[in-house]
Every structure is written in C-alpha cells, then in structure tokens.
Amino acid sequence: MNQKISILVIEDEKSICDFISRTLEVNDYRVTSAFTGKEGLQAITSAPPDLVLLDLGLPDMDGNDIIRKTREWSSMPIIVISARIQEKEKVEALDAGADDYITKPFGTSELLARIRTALRHSNKIATQDHITTRPYRAKDLKVDFEKRLTTLKGEEIHLTRVEYKIVSYLAKNSGKVITYDALINEIWGPYAGDNNRILRVNMANIRRKIEENPGEPEYIFTELGVGYRMIEDEGL
C-alpha cells in the first residue's frame, strides 16, 4: 500500500483549518494541523511533511518568518493561504521562498490543483539532472533544453539569447509564479536592480513570437504586480 502524502496546515482560524483538513483527507492526503507559528515550526522540524499550507497572519509570528526559517534547511513545498491581497504581500512571500500563493476565499478545486503542481515540482527538485534534460511540452509549445531550441507547432521560434533564457527558466519552473525580481536576478544577475522595464520589453517580444494573441496569452501569464507563470508542463 502506498504511503499517503503528508500535508501540514498552519492556520489559526479553526473553522478554516477544519475545512481544509476535511477537504484534503477526502482526497486521500494525511493531514496534521498547527494553530500558531511556534507549533508549525515544531511540526516542520520534528516530522517534516511533504507539503505545508501556511497562513501568514498567525497570532505569534508572521508566516514569512516561518518560510525563511524553513528555507534555511529544506526545499519542501510551501503554499501560502492568506487574506492579504496586496501585491507586495504576495511578492514578499514568494521571494521569501514560498512556492505559491492562494488568496482567501478560494475554491477546493483551485487548492487541490495548486497542491498537485507544488508536489510535482518537489519531485522535479529530487531528480533535477533528469528533468532539465527532458524537453518542456505544453499544447503546441516545446522547449528542448539540450538543443536550446524552442518550437511552436513543430516550427522553430527564433529567440534571442536573453529571450531564450527567460523562456527556459519559466519552462523549468512551469506552473509556479516567478517574481519579477527572481527572474531579473536569474537572467541579468544580482546587481541588475529592480527596474523591470527591460524584462517587460523582452516579455512583449517573446509573446509576439509564441502567442497567437499576445493580449490573451496561452503560455505565459502575468500575475499583475508580482511576476509571471508559465503554463504547466504536460509531460509532468
């Protein structure tokens, strides 16, 4: 019998915590709960779960501190579930190391989909050497990392060096929100600053090349004020 995937829910509102726990248990996850940041950190370190669902507004500490402390030693997936809707709040959590961010209220289908994506990416981390050599595929788009080749409907898309670096980085992290700062740091280095104009220009060029209608993208979506998310790799 397969061992159930374990999920730790760190949420101080009992009604929300109970709702999430019931939803996950019905979908065959093993769930534990913590109602404070201290309890959550103890649970993370004493019996590390496969994934953490984390509320930022805890009574004893900010959830971002839990993310930072966990990231000092673990890459376990962390999905933030928060009522904070400001873009800067989302960016701070993602930059601290969260894998995803869901705003309350949310539907069960969205929650389960985000969990599946985060768990797939945790498997990707464990087999990084294999995954980075396998091409990314979604709909009619393919990115071959070994050949550094991008094709759409079988036809080569001619990307500049920088455009390819952006597309390949998003493809390797497909399904996840990548913040503007994280993408700029990856492509241009840590001293590039936070001016994302050059990123926006490159993204506009990329969309003209790969999207049938750049105004309604199919492959690379904008999370306003936060960053970009590439459509999930269908081969995962």
pLDDT tens per residue, range 99-127: 999 988 889 999 999 998 888 877 655 55
123 phi and psi angles, rounded to 5 deg: -65, -35
- CATH topology for 6-126 is Rossmann fold (3.40.50)
pLDDT exceeds cutoff 50 at 1: no
What pLDDT is stored for residue 2 in this prediction? 53
Residue intervals in the chain for CATH 1.10.10.10? 129-230
Q: Looking at residue 130, what is its pLDDT? A: 46
Question: What is the per-residue pLDDT across 179-209, written as a single tens digit (0 to 9) for each?
Answer: 998 898 888 876 676 668 889 999 999 999 9
The ranges of the chain annotated as CATH 3.40.50.2300 are: 6-126
> What tens digit of pLDDT does each residue of 155-168 get?
999 999 899 999 99
Tell me: the pLDDT tens digits for 44-90?
Answer: 998 899 999 999 999 999 999 999 999 988 889 999 998 877 888 89
**Run of H or E including 124:** helix 108-126
CB 162 within 8 A of CB 209: no
Domain 129-230 has CATH 1.10.10.10: yes
